Structure 1
Amino acid sequence: MRALVRETHLRPGAMIYPLFICPGESVRKEISSMPGCFNLSIDEAVKEAEQCAALGLGGLLLFGLPAEKDEQGTGAWADDGIVQSALRELKKNRKLDSLVMMADVCLCEYTSHGHCGVVVRDGNHYEVANDASVALLAKTAASLAAAGADVIAPSDMMDGRVASIRAALDAGGHEQVPVLSYASKFASAFYGPFREAADSAPQFGDRRSYQMDGGNLREAMREIELDLAEGADMVLMKPAMPYLDVIRAARERFDVPMGAYQVSGEFSMLHAAFQRGWLEPERAMMESLISIRRAGADFIVTYFAKDAAKVLA
């Protein structure tokens, strides 16, 4: 009877699994701070994707670890870039047709300094140049769409990047490729393990000058509104659990597809409690996910996606 009258439901098709793609062959390197998650070479990523498709997951969110980095992050838009190459390989595999291939668009994994855009230095002072960064992000988005991305997901938080990305996609003949904007991405302590996974920790300073202040709910609504006005088709809230009120406020205000990213720190702290026997793994995992859906997220990007799908099977 409880199942019959339940108001909020989870399903595998509403979950997106992140993959971290690295150079090489037969590489499956566990991420020490994220149990059960790996840096994967393309051949191993294909195997992982086949498991995700068999479990009925909705899609994958792809991140790249390039062989080399530089100040401009040129690996982000290279035709033979790590994610571009992975997309072409994944798209060849008919077993994966049910998966939506989302490509993260940011420069932090590709820059030698670890920031999400172009850094301009003046002595000891530095700043991230917004407009110069936006031009490179648009170039990256066009490259990923050409390689086969079904959805372009900019996570950089530069101002005006959605409009530039939309224009670049349209100019490249990719009018039908939607933009999933990380419209409400907060400067958060909960990103720590991801920075190991993606090798993207800033080499100096931090990202608070372009990611949002965690105390600003009204500003988050303005950021979402601006991105939608620029042409975003969907929005993604990040992190999820520390910002459930933001998800709820956005759900009540905006009638667009909305996702939430249960980020690495949320995943890792739960696993730390599981390992110590402090929380029951299955129940805590599912409760954390249902809270995000109940707050208003239509879909969830989560490292628990495969385990949750097995529970739901």
Structure 2
Amino acid sequence: MTPAPFPAARMRRLRRTNALREMVQENGLSTRDLIWPVFIRDGEGIEEPISSLPGVNRLSLDRLMPAAEKAHRLGIPAICLFPYTDASLRTETCEEAWNPENLTNRAIRALKAEFPELMVMTDIALDPYNANGHDGFVVNGEIVNDETVNALVKMGLAQAEAGADILGPSDMMDGRIGALRLALEEVGHRDVAILSYAAKFASAFYGPFRDAVGASGRLVGDKATYQINPANASEALACVARDLSEGADMVMVKPGMPYLDICRAVKDRFARPTFAYQVSGEYAMLMAAAQNGWLDGDKVMLESMMAFKRAGCDGVLTYFAPRIAAALHGQG
């Protein structure tokens, strides 16, 4: 529709006051839109700073609990656990990934016992447990698909048994959503949701995350044989369609801000719950600029969230989640 010509149409009329601007605002942000990624590690009394992620710490389980309580109090509906695994537990066979007593599974049980209404999301990929730093098994230099899928199913079932609400397969192996959904149904975990990393790109924005989980120095080669070429949009949509057809309840685009076009296309094409991950590199860039006084940190943090909402996202995984929630509650 074409607006009336000037001066009948003066677009600035509805920008004149804050009340008018808020009245006609097209998108909104609330704490319900947030999932908080949290890094955990073994030990006691540990809040270990991650140098490439300013303001983000690895937490031992005793420090995770008060952090989760604060998040829950602020109205953040879900946290997502990422383990920093001791080097002695990283092997080429990755059996620690489905150990019922591994760090992630112990954290799930502790969180659900203390905060049953707080949703716990997990990560399903082998890289925190893999001596080679890859999301899948490495055989003769190749990341093998089907053998990896079998391992991921065992990993997901262990997390579901521990009480996870949402499983997040981030590995990008072919067929893993269907295999995981079938296995969950067979053992009675019918209500466990799958938020698939359906459009995960082979991005350079993941560096600080790999530092956080201790995978940076172990990765041999790259992940281009299983993550999507950043140049490819149609392929990303095909991956989303496949994962939804195999039983994913929700889908994710990763990274976030450089891929808002993909977020919009996914929401428009499939009209299903669509999430984005504001990944470590995105967070680190904004934080570095704010710390240097080049940007207003709080304003760009909130503006970036509104960009996700405008692009059609139903929610965002972001390391800013506690700061955003506090700002929305006027506690900035």
For normalisation by structure 2, the TM-score amounts to 0.91
| Residue type at the aligned position of 1:299 | G
| Residue type at the aligned position of 2:150 | A
| Residue type at the aligned position of 1:62 | L
Call closer, same or farther: CA 1:160–1:289 in 2, change over 3 Å.
Answer: same
Q: Quick one: which of 242, 247, 253 aligns to 2:269?
A: 253
For residues 260 and 71 of structure 1, what CA distance do their matches in structure 2 show? 30
* Equivalent position of 1:176 in the other structure: 191
Q: Quick one: which of 98, 101, 104 aligns to 1:83?
A: 104
Higher mean Cα deviation, 193-202 or 244-253?
193-202
Runs of 4+ in 1 over 2 A off after TM superposition: none
Q: Quick one: which of 220, 229, 232 aligns to 1:213?
A: 229
Matched, 1:240 2:244: no
| Residue type at the aligned position of 1:77 | W
CA displacement at 1:310 relative to structure 2: 0.9
For residues 98 and 237 of structure 1, what CA distance do their matches in structure 2 show? 26
Query: 5+ residue gaps in structure 1?
Result: none
For residues 283 and 205 of structure 1, what CA distance do their matches in structure 2 show? 38
Q: Quick one: which of 30, 39, 54 aligns to 1:20?
A: 39
Q: Quick one: which of 154, 163, 177 aligns to 2:178?
A: 163
* Partners of 1:28 and 1:44 within 8 A in 2: yes
Matched, 1:200 2:221: no
* Partners of 1:184 and 1:223 within 8 A in 2: yes
For residues 31 and 316 of structure 2, what CA distance do their matches in structure 1 show? 10
CA displacement at 1:171 relative to structure 2: 1.9
CA displacement at 1:255 relative to structure 2: 1.7
CA displacement at 1:3 relative to structure 2: 1.6
| Residue type at the aligned position of 2:234 | R
In the TM superposition, what whole-angstrom CA distance separates every residue of 1:131-165 from its partner, at most 9, and x where no partner exists? Answer: 00000001000000000000111000000000111
* Equivalent position of 2:16 in the other structure: none
| Residue type at the aligned position of 1:153 | G
| Residue type at the aligned position of 1:263 | V
Corresponding residue SS for 1:173: coil
For residues 219 and 244 of structure 2, what CA distance do their matches in structure 1 show? 32
* Equivalent position of 2:22 in the other structure: 3
* Partners of 2:85 and 2:214 within 8 A in 1: no
CA displacement at 1:195 relative to structure 2: 0.4
For residues 75 and 47 of structure 1, what CA distance do their matches in structure 2 show? 26
What does 1:5-154 align with in structure 2 at a 5 Å threshold?
5-67=24-86, 68-93=89-114, 96-121=115-140, 126-154=141-169
* Partners of 1:141 and 1:168 within 8 A in 2: no
| Residue type at the aligned position of 2:95 | T
CA displacement at 1:284 relative to structure 2: 0.7
* Partners of 1:66 and 1:81 within 8 A in 2: no
Q: Number of residues paired by the alignment?
A: 307
For normalisation by structure 1, the TM-score amounts to 0.96
Q: Quick one: which of 259, 279, 298 aligns to 1:263?
A: 279
For residues 120 and 93 of structure 2, what CA distance do their matches in structure 1 show? 25
| Residue type at the aligned position of 1:84 | N
CA displacement at 1:92 relative to structure 2: 1.0
Corresponding residue SS for 1:115: coil
For residues 185 and 265 of structure 2, what CA distance do their matches in structure 1 show? 31
For residues 27 and 270 of structure 1, what CA distance do their matches in structure 2 show? 26
| Residue type at the aligned position of 2:182 | A
Q: Quick one: which of 232, 243, 248 aligns to 1:227?
A: 243
* Partners of 2:82 and 2:122 within 8 A in 1: yes
For residues 189 and 284 of structure 1, what CA distance do their matches in structure 2 show? 21
In the TM superposition, what whole-angstrom CA distance separates every residue of 1:246-277 from its partner, at most 9, and x where no partner exists? Answer: 00011100121111100000000001100110
* Partners of 2:31 and 2:325 within 8 A in 1: yes
